[in-house]
């Protein structure tokens, strides 16, 4: 690996090598490893802030871009600039480790993105965006705890269709979750502690078999609509938990959905 990176990382001289552990705490772009095997893509970030975009260019093909001067290795070999991978038909797994990470995954309309996508961003204030994507299975996003409540995570899932479940877990911190234009089977959203904001169907309809939503401790806000939310099978439940939680847009639930839904722990429902 070259020891000098052009973008963003400033080295102050050879003496600073002695304080390498301190240097690692700076918000550097970091290194990202990519592994392609058997139709699977695995993306592993480091403890620094990793900011990457994954853009589908055709069935099974993706361009992976570092937005902050990230250094990529593909199966252990350094790759300069944008990385292209192909033959990805099964599972995409991302594990970005510590640091304030940002990742966006954009599929192609009416093209299967992958079978499954698992995103783990670890501690820190992370941003995850999944858009225009189709999965023949599960989408799971877990953004870990913030380093403080102010370190909230931001998750958006927009124009996504799944044949499996949708799971979003944002851990402690003041988190923001937006789900818009999404169809999935069962869905689970857990925002844990912190003052969380969840919006569902802000512009386009959202349809699940069931939705289990838990907003955790502290004062949280859930807004549905003006697009419709449809819950078509079994029992769904929204739990505000401790705090003066507010649910707005109850009327954006389809009538059949309301009959399947239990709403608990919200001090204000409108």
Query: Which stretches of the chain bind Ca ion, using CB under 5 A?
Result: 45, 50, 96-97, 99, 101, 215, 220, 240-241, 243, 245
Minimum CB distance to Ca ion, residue 30 (Å): 6
CB neighbours of 19 closer than 8 A, spacing ≥ 6?
A: none
Q: Which is nearer to Ca ion, 74 or 239 (CB)?
A: 239
In sign, the C-alpha dihedral spanning 113, 140, 211, 253 is negative
Minimum CB distance to Ca ion, residue 123 (Å): 9
Would you list the DSSP string of 165-234?
Answer: -EEEE--SSS-EEEEEEEE-SSEEEE--SS--EEEE-SSS-EEES-EEEE--SS--EEEE-SS-EEE-SS
Minimum CB distance to Ca ion, residue 174 (Å): 12
Minimum CB distance to Ca ion, residue 78 (Å): 18
- Cα(56)–Cα(149) distance, integer angstroms: 34
Neighbours of 106 (CB within 10 A): 18
- Cα(202)–Cα(208) distance, integer angstroms: 15
Closest among 32, 45, 53, 197 to 121, alpha carbons compared: 45
H-helix or E-strand spanning residue 72: strand 71-74
- Cα(236)–Cα(240) distance, integer angstroms: 13
Q: Judge contact between 53 and 106, C-beta under 8 A.
A: yes
Neighbours of 81 (CB within 10 A): 8
Closest among 104, 100, 148 to 121, alpha carbons compared: 100
Minimum CB distance to Ca ion, residue 143 (Å): 12
Minimum CB distance to Ca ion, residue 93 (Å): 15
Q: Which is nearer to Ca ion, 101 or 151 (CB)?
A: 101
Minimum CB distance to Ca ion, residue 100 (Å): 8
Minimum CB distance to Ca ion, residue 159 (Å): 27
């Amino acid at each position: 690996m070259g020891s000098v990176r052009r973008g963003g990382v400033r080295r102050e001289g050879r003496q600073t090598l002695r304080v390498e552990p301190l240097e690692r705490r700076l918000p550097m772009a970091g290194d990202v490893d990519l592994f392609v095997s058997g139709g699977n893509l695995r993306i592993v970030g480091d403890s620094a802030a990793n900011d990457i975009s994954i853009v589908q260019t055709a069935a099974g093909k993706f361009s992976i871009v570092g937005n902050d001067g990230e250094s990529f290795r593909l199966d252990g070999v350094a790759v300069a600039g944008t990385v292209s991978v192909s033959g990805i038909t099964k599972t995409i797994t991302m594990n970005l480790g510590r640091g304030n990470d940002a990742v966006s995954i954009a599929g192609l309309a009416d093209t299967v993105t992958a079978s499954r996508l698992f995103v783990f961003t670890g501690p820190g204030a992370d941003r995850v965006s999944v858009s225009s994507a189709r999965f023949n299975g599960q989408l799971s996003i877990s953004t870990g705890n913030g380093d403080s409540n102010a370190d909230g995570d931001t998750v958006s899932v927009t124009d996504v269709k799944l044949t499996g479940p949708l799971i979003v877990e944002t851990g402690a911190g003041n988190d923001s979750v937006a789900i818009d234009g999404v169809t999935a089977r069962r869905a689970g959203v857990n925002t844990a502690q912190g003052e969380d904001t969840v919006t569902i169907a802000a512009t386009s309809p959202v349809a699940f078999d069931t939705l289990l939503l838990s907003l955790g401790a502290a004062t949280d806000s859930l807004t549905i609509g003006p697009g419709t939310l449809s819950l078509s099978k079994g029992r769904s439940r929204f739990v505000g938990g401790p705090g003066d939680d507010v649910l707005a847009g109850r009327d954006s639930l389809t009538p059949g959905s309301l009959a399947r839904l239990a709403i608990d722990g919200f001090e204000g429902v409108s």
